[in-house]
Structure 1
Amino acid sequence: MHTEPSPARTLRRAFLRELWASLHIVWPILWGLLAIMAIIGGLVGWLENWSLGDSLYFAYVSGLTIGYGDLSPTQPATKLLAVSLGFTGILLTALLGAVAVQALSRCKSDFAARA
């Protein structure tokens, strides 16, 4: 016996399809922001004499505004780089949020048109 999928499941699948399609469009910008974060984090780590792993960890934890505080820059130049890392992380978060909202609005309008 075959049952129809629930409307919520259909909407979820449509959202994921739209999200994936939208991510393909902004992929170069997304990769660029991730690369900028890695480069800035590497530079901060190099100036602070951190390992590469600690540098990348600092870059993404700080860039995503989590900031555990276990690693923190001590020099004025690295503090300034950390601020730019935060701005880059905000751009990354805003881009992902905008893509998700766009995907949801597309699949929602398609779903409403079918109903």
Structure 2
Amino acid sequence: MSRSELTNAEMRRRFGKALWKQLKIVWPIISFLVGIEVVLGLIAGYVESWSLGESIYFTFVTGHTIGYGDFVPKHFLSRLCAMGIGLVGIVFMGLIAAIAVHAFEGLAEDAP
């Protein structure tokens, strides 16, 4: 079956399978990065007197997007934690992107 004959569903299935295979390999690294982010977010939340939910929300919005600005750290220590969350988030998102690209490359290699 040539690449042009592959259906969209078959390509999605192959991509998902390759992505899952890669994620199983790097899950300890991903878990470690998320753990660092959560710890830094909890420290920032403690300093800023945010609730647990607000601290976790701040962590993931700051680390995995550019942040919404609804929670803004005002103290020096919490700002340092926010910078750390952002840097770890860049590594995290880069790792996820690299895994996805590798899974796409696997599609090209599988097709005759």
Q: Normalising by the residue count of structure 1, what TM-score does the alignment of the two structures yield?
A: 0.89
Aligned pair 1:52/2:59, yes or no? no
String of CA shifts for 1:29-67, please: whole Å, max 9, x gaps: 011111111110000001111100000000000001331
| Alignment check: 8 A CA contact 1:11 1:108 kept | no
Helix, strand or coil at the partner of 2:66: coil
Amino acid of the structure 2 residue aligned with 1:89: G
Q: Using the alignment, how far apart are the partners of 1:48 and 1:84 within structure 2?
A: 16
1:76 shift after superposition: 1.2
Q: Rg larger in 1 or in 2?
A: 1
Once the two structures are overlaid, the 10-residue window that deviates more, 24-33 or 7-16, is: 7-16
List gaps (5 residues or longer) in structure 2: none
Aligned pair 1:99/2:99, yes or no? yes
Give runs of aligned pairs for residues 83-94 of structure 1, distance below 5 A.
83-94=83-94
Hey, what does 2:40 align to over in structure 1? 40
Q: Using the alignment, how far apart are the partners of 1:86 and 1:65 within structure 2?
A: 9
Amino acid of the structure 1 residue aligned with 2:101: V
Q: Using the alignment, how far apart are the partners of 2:6 and 2:32 within structure 1?
A: 38
Helix, strand or coil at the partner of 1:66: coil
Hey, what does 2:20 align to over in structure 1? 20
List gaps (5 residues or longer) in structure 1: none
Aligned pair 1:80/2:73, yes or no? no
Q: Using the alignment, how far apart are the partners of 1:21 and 1:93 within structure 2?
A: 18
Identity of aligned residues (%): 40
Once the two structures are overlaid, the 10-residue window that deviates more, 76-85 or 54-63, is: 76-85
Helix, strand or coil at the partner of 2:68: coil
Which fold has the larger relative contact order, with Cα–Cα distance below 8 Å and residues 6 or more apart in sequence? 2
Amino acid of the structure 1 residue aligned with 2:56: L
